[in-house]
Amino acid sequence: MDEDIQQKQQLGLLNRRNSISLPAGLNNMEPVEYDPQLTPESARHDGYETSDTFSDGGISDAESSIPEMEARKLPLTPGRNARKKSVMPGLHSLSKTDVDDNRSDITDLDDHSPGNSITSVNSISSLLKEKLLMTFPRALKRRKKPKEYKLRVFVTMLFFAIVFLVTFAHIFYHQQVLQRAYFEKIRFNKEERIVRLYNNEGVEIALGYLGVDLRGDDRVHQCLPQDQKKDIVCLEWMHRARLYLSYSQMEIKGQKGDFRCYRFTWESLHPNTQLTDCFENGKQHGHWYGGGRTLGMAWPVELGQVEMSAFVTGHIGRHRWGSVLKRYFINSRGVAISVDSETPLYVSINAERETRLCLQARQDDFAYVTHKGLPKLNYSVCTSSNMKLLHSFLSEKSLWDGLTKSDAEAINSLVYEPVWQIAPRDKLLLTQSAIANYTDSVNDLGFLRQGYVLLNEHWQVHVGDLTLDKERFPTMEETIDIIHRRGFRIALTIQPFISTESKNFAVAVEKGLLITERGSEQLRKVPALTRYKSVSSAGMLDVTNNETIPWMHAQLTDLLEKYKVDSFYLDMGTAYDMPQYYQLKQNLTNPDLYKTLFTNKMSNRIRVLGVSGAISRPPAPVFVSLPTLSSTWESLQVIIPTILTYGIVGYPFLMPGPVGGDYLPSYDQDGSNITFRGLGIGDHKVSDSHLPNKELYIRWLQLATFLPVIRYSHLPSDYVSDNQVLEQAKVLTALRLQTVNPLLNKLILEALNTGVPLIRPLWMLDPSDSACHLVVDEFSVGDELIVAPILSKGTFEREVYLPAGVWKDGIDGSLRKGSRWLHSYKVPGDKIAYFVKMPDNTRF
């Protein structure tokens, strides 16, 4: 028995006692020699091994002799995890059975031992010293992390993984599952009001945000049965708005790809509800083009910015939009938006929400004052495989309707022959002798062809007289006859405005032919007055009155029959030139519809050469003019994006302004405000200082050589101090006759058949080439000729991009491969860069 106990003592399996109660008088006793057999070893309950004595010795020899790795292999007993507070009787007095079977009971005797009280201070100090020395170093060395820690980490990670998966599934459900495919190639999330359009390959081509001004907590519901329509999806936001969504698909014979159109119709259900839909533009969402002229004339539209404003014609600089508009936008990814004419349309570009084209239906007190009820936003979104096919599909095809042989000749004459615009600074300078001298000077040049002589509105004493000024044109009948014999034709500018000083103003008031003030009494119609150009006070003819156009045509009969006037130019102003509180006999949903009515009614009675503004394509052979421009380099730079924009929105026949600009800019004394004065003509000789800059005039003439119509105000021979301008005009005239005119003649027939423009952006040659989408200073004449003019002062080189194919350099005759940039391409001052398309099988 004693041998077993000693063996277990050496192995550290028995517990030591924490304290010993000693009898009194032991301090006087001699110390007993240390005997290892009397100091049995026990296992510490904190997991470490130590001696059972409390002498200054730290670790017994037996304990220190056991290697650490061997100690780790020793089996643990339950009693080793309990802290002992009392000293047990010597283990040698216990039987082996007691030691083995009741080991756990030993640890439970702490508080019940009769020797539990501490009677020696030395024992306490020894105990504390030993614990401090033995517990901390060895605890740091031997402590192990419990196995439960790893389990807890695993459970925590599993919990967070489950939370992540549930959250992801929730988001995916709302973004994907709720994006219901109501129709083919479209997904609409009705909760977030996000619409996505896809092409045949499943690639997203458009991203739209519908009803952006609706509150986020507005719930969407299916429409009530009485509000639903057949084959149309109907959704309603209670007491806020209602949306109808329909779909149609067409396949055009002879054209590749399908054409899909989605119809969005919003109805407001509350006066405070604004109906606004936005579509992303730029980068991965494609580039938008169209609309009309804006300040700076951005191409594509995301490069500019337009605040939310009424989509009606105006004057650039004072208003957001120019004089020629169309409710049509097309995207480089094969998406087009067309807004219904009945919608009170407001448009913004990159305004409050960056990189977005936004459409809004809103009624106001001017542009859309006649709308009744709550506003509606009605538009279509059409898609195809690429924007060239889509644009061709959406272009008007009825240009031949009603076209006569004389109409076709009028179109060709404008392309082959220049327009000679006579618009002096002072109307007193416009005389019959000035006109005769001007035409005589043109013929003296010998290389310029005759064409239309266009007189501005000052051929009358007062605007609205509609008769020639007898003082300045006493024998105009003979003068016009001379002009005709010289090969020219005469065109007069007329307007729907009648000056209050005109003899016809009182007549028009008496007959009720003028627009009246809104709210005036029914029996006392008060004419609404406005101002336009040089006329400070004028009335405006009411074209919705069926008696107005016949009366005006009767006034023009004398000019047609007596003076043999060939044509008229309609200068109609913009929506903002109408009286502020206008009231027509028949309400118009859009003030710009006035232009359409006036143009159509007048062109049915007289020959119309061109119009100053439009919101829809006028009947052929009427040309649409570009806006008036000052004689500056900035004006030259906006011509190309303007003519490209007008072309793609549906105006193939365009008439640019005169070479060198319409007006010379002049500055106030402080230089802060810009005013304009007209260009001198005829018998009023001016010095070179009052002419457009010579370099500007030459670069402008180079550009105009490739445009549908060339319009002159100043003759090249007016630059008497330098013969360079005249020589350049001769070279460019020959180039137009030999290269440009034959091509334009062919393109006219194509435009009449298909509605495509004569002057085209590069992306119409290769819609898949992303580089073509952003080129703003080049254009193509049809698909066969690319023009890259110089548009900046003192510049003799530029970057040129050529689409796919082989192109012949118009300057040096070399062949150049397409789909690449020509960097630092040299262009001398007397040259213009142009490139002619060669057959596909052409080899270098």
Q: In the structure, what pLDDT confidence band is assigned to residue 108 with cuts at 50, 70 and 90?
A: very low
Q: Are residues 751 and 773 in the same domain?
A: no
What is the SS3 assignment for 580?
A: coil
User: Which of 30-39, 132-141, 409-418, 559-568 is the least confident region?
Assistant: 30-39
Q: Higher pLDDT residue, 803 or 177?
A: 803
- Nearest CA to 590 out of 313, 283, 392, 781 is that of 313
Q: Centre a 10 Å sphere on the Cβ of residue 27 and count the other Cβ atoms it contains.
A: 8
Q: Are residues 409 and 375 in the same domain?
A: no
**Residue 661: what pLDDT?**
94
- Nearest CA to 744 out of 780, 713, 791 is that of 780
Q: Are residues 321 and 424 in the same domain?
A: no
**Residue 126: what pLDDT?**
66
Highest mean pLDDT among 107-116, 146-155, 207-216: 207-216
- pLDDT, average across residues 323-334: 96
What residues make up the domain containing 365?
179-394
Q: Higher pLDDT residue, 217 or 172?
A: 217
Is 400 part of a structural domain of the chain?
no
- pLDDT, average across residues 159-170: 79
- pLDDT, average across residues 578-597: 92
Question: Does position 689 have pLDDT exceeding 70, yes or no?
Answer: no
What CATH number corresponds to the domain at position 671? Answer: 3.20.20.80
Is 78 part of a structural domain of the chain?
yes
Question: Does position 79 have pLDDT exceeding 60, yes or no?
Answer: no
**Residue 669: what pLDDT?**
37
Q: Higher pLDDT residue, 298 or 183?
A: 298
Is 249 part of a structural domain of the chain?
yes
**Residue 145: what pLDDT?**
53
User: Which of 22-31, 43-52, 664-673, 822-831 is the least confident region?
Assistant: 43-52
Beta strands at 233-237 and 220-222: parallel, antiparallel or unpaired: antiparallel
Is 189 part of a structural domain of the chain?
yes
Kindly report, residue by residue over 697-714, the tens digit of the pLDDT: 999 999 999 999 999 999
Q: In the structure, what pLDDT confidence band is assigned to residue 304 with cuts at 50, 70 and 90?
A: confident
From the number of C-beta atoms within 10 Å of its C-beta (0-12, 13-18, 19+), residue 412 rates as middle
Under DSSP, the state recorded for 622 is: P
- pLDDT, average across residues 95-109: 41
Q: Higher pLDDT residue, 53 or 316?
A: 316
Sheet holding 785-788, edge to edge: 759-760, 779-781, 785-788, 833-837, 806-809, 815-817
Q: Are residues 756 and 766 in the same domain?
A: no
Question: Does position 46 have pLDDT exceeding 50, yes or no?
Answer: no
Predicted structure pTM score: 0.77
Q: In the structure, what pLDDT confidence band is assigned to residue 255 with cuts at 50, 70 and 90?
A: low
Q: Higher pLDDT residue, 647 or 147?
A: 647
Choose one of 117, 142, 167: the last residue of a domain. 142
**Residue 111: what pLDDT?**
43
Q: Are residues 322 and 256 in the same domain?
A: yes
Q: In the structure, what pLDDT confidence band is assigned to residue 12 with cuts at 50, 70 and 90?
A: very low
Q: Are residues 747 and 801 in the same domain?
A: no
Q: In the structure, what pLDDT confidence band is assigned to residue 471 with cuts at 50, 70 and 90?
A: very high
Q: Higher pLDDT residue, 306 or 34?
A: 306
User: Which of 269-273, 398-402, 628-632 is the least confident region?
Assistant: 398-402
Distance between CA atoms of residues 787 and 411, nearest Å: 23
Q: Higher pLDDT residue, 583 or 28?
A: 583
Distance between CA atoms of residues 109 and 74, nearest Å: 25
Question: Does position 115 have pLDDT exceeding 80, yes or no?
Answer: no
Question: Does position 30 have pLDDT exceeding 70, yes or no?
Answer: no
**Residue 818: what pLDDT?**
94
The two tokens of residue 100 are 């083995």
* Residues forming beta bridges with residue 786, ordered by sequence position: 780, 835
Q: Ramachandran region of residue 300, left (φ > 0), alpha (ψ -120 to 50) or beta?
A: beta
CB-based contacts of 327, cutoff 8 Å, min separation 6: 311, 338, 339, 340, 341, 343, 345, 379, 615
The two tokens of residue 612 are 């100053």
**Residue 170: what pLDDT?**
62
Count how many residues are written for the chain. 844
What is the SS3 assignment for 763?
A: helix
User: Which of 212-226, 313-327, 597-611, 787-801 is the least confident region?
Assistant: 212-226
Highest mean pLDDT among 5-14, 292-301, 621-630: 621-630
Question: Does position 102 have pLDDT exceeding 60, yes or no?
Answer: no
- pLDDT, average across residues 307-328: 94
Question: Does position 813 have pLDDT exceeding 50, yes or no?
Answer: yes
Q: Are residues 494 and 564 in the same domain?
A: yes
Q: In the structure, what pLDDT confidence band is assigned to residue 44 with cuts at 50, 70 and 90?
A: very low
Is 438 part of a structural domain of the chain?
yes
- Nearest CA to 805 out of 757, 772, 756, 758 is that of 772
User: Which of 397-401, 448-452, 506-510, 807-811 is the least confident region?
Assistant: 397-401
Q: Higher pLDDT residue, 788 or 127?
A: 788
Average pLDDT, the chain: 81
What CATH number corresponds to the domain at position 818? Answer: 2.60.40.1180
339, amino acid identity: V
Kindly report, residue by residue over 524-577, the tens digit of the pLDDT: 678 999 999 989 999 999 999 999 999 999 999 989 999 999 999 999 999 999
Question: Does position 104 have pLDDT exceeding 80, yes or no?
Answer: no
Question: Does position 7 have pLDDT exceeding 70, yes or no?
Answer: no
Distance between CA atoms of residues 105 and 114, nearest Å: 16
Choose one of 394, 413, 430: the last residue of a domain. 394
Q: In the structure, what pLDDT confidence band is assigned to residue 674 with cuts at 50, 70 and 90?
A: very low
Q: Higher pLDDT residue, 450 or 256?
A: 450
Question: Does position 719 have pLDDT exceeding 80, yes or no?
Answer: yes
Question: Does position 33 have pLDDT exceeding 80, yes or no?
Answer: no
Choose one of 362, 394, 426: the last residue of a domain. 394
DSSP per position, 342-410: TS-EEEEESSSSTTEEEEEE---SSTTTT--SS-EEEEEEEE-SSHHHHHHHHS---TTTT--HHHHHH
**Residue 418: what pLDDT?**
95
User: Which of 52-56, 221-225, 299-303, 423-427 is the least confident region?
Assistant: 52-56
Q: Are residues 413 and 369 in the same domain?
A: no
**Residue 60: what pLDDT?**
42
CB-based contacts of 373, cutoff 8 Å, min separation 6: none
Distance between CA atoms of residues 777 and 800, nearest Å: 9
**Residue 654: what pLDDT?**
96
**Residue 72: what pLDDT?**
39
Q: Are residues 482 and 461 in the same domain?
A: yes
Is 453 part of a structural domain of the chain?
yes
Buried residues in 698-719 as b, exposed as e (16+ CB within 10 A): bbbbbbbbbbbbbbbbbbbebb
Q: Check: CB of residue 450 under 8 Å from CB of residue 486.
A: yes
Buried residues in 537-552 as b, exposed as e (16+ CB within 10 A): ebbbbbbebeebbebb
Number of domains in the chain: 4
Q: Are residues 77 and 105 in the same domain?
A: yes
Helices and strands in the chain: count of H runs, count of E runs: 18, 41
**Residue 297: what pLDDT?**
83
Widest pairwise Cα distance in the chain: 159
**What crossing angle do the helices spanning 405-416 and 741-754 adopt, rounded to 10°?**
140
Question: Does position 788 have pLDDT exceeding 60, yes or no?
Answer: yes
Q: Are residues 565 and 617 in the same domain?
A: yes
Q: To the nearest whole percent, how much of the chain has pLDDT over 90?
A: 57
Q: Are residues 424 and 292 in the same domain?
A: no
Highest mean pLDDT among 134-148, 582-596, 824-838: 824-838
Question: Does position 192 have pLDDT exceeding 60, yes or no?
Answer: yes
Q: In the structure, what pLDDT confidence band is assigned to residue 13 with cuts at 50, 70 and 90?
A: very low
**Residue 100: what pLDDT?**
43
**Residue 640: what pLDDT?**
97
Question: Does position 625 have pLDDT exceeding 50, yes or no?
Answer: yes
**Residue 577: what pLDDT?**
95
Q: To the nearest whole percent, how much of the chain has pLDDT over 70?
A: 76
Question: Does position 211 have pLDDT exceeding 50, yes or no?
Answer: yes
**Residue 740: what pLDDT?**
97
Is 364 part of a structural domain of the chain?
yes
Is 153 part of a structural domain of the chain?
no
348, amino acid identity: S
